[in-house]
Amino acid sequence: MGPPGVLRGAVLAQQEGGRWILTLIGLMGNRPPTDDAGFRAFAKSLLSREIAELVETGTPLDDAVPASYPSNVRRRYDRVARFPEGYVVLGDAICSFNPMYGQGMSVAALECVALADTLAGPADGNLGRRFFQRAAPVLDTPWMLAAGNDLRLTNPDAPVGRATKFVRWYMDRLHRAARTDVIVATAFLRVAGLLEPPGSLFKPALAIRVLAIRH
């Protein structure tokens, strides 16, 4: 996605055999068209010229398929005092994210690990409570990334504290640096893929590369 207020973006992923998967993204009513002409026009409206060039020069393998998602939702079962014994909630039923961030399956897998760890612990009869308490930290980072960035994009003028302003300023620079710096891009993707904590993006060696980029 682009800077705050820019409600159009795309995800382009290379596949085997010289193929690519392209997802056009629009927020707040900016729905990408599925007809060929509209699809191409939407791609041309993006900040990235490379995506538009690929659309113009590439050969479609199939028709575009629309999908929509209303909002990020997190249900705080970890704050519920009573929960039916022997039951737990997993996946999108406990927390669902804007799919443009590509974190849903990874989070669900980490929830399964948390459930396995819970089942391996003492059987004190409070399975749901114990699991939800263990799963909550798993959800904190992807929730912050998805819900926080959606708010940054759709409501850039919302009042925030100084710390949040600094983080947004830094992340805007990091995103720009990632367009041309493979080290910065890899660091960001590792955080987005839940392989590293968000704090790793502020390590001095990486921060120097982010702050040195010319805009």
pTM: 0.75
What is the per-residue pLDDT across 50-95, written as a single tens digit (0 to 9) for each?
A: 888 888 888 888 889 988 888 889 999 999 988 998 899 999 999 9
The C-alpha R_g of the chain, in whole angstroms, comes to: 20
pLDDT 10s digits, 21-56 = 999 998 888 889 999 999 999 999 988 888 888 888
Residue 109: CB partners within 8 Å, gap ≥ 6?
A: none
CA–CA distances in Å: residue 16 to residues 75, 81, 102, 151, 196 = 38, 49, 19, 35, 26
Domain limits of the chain? Answer: 8-57, 73-154, 162-212
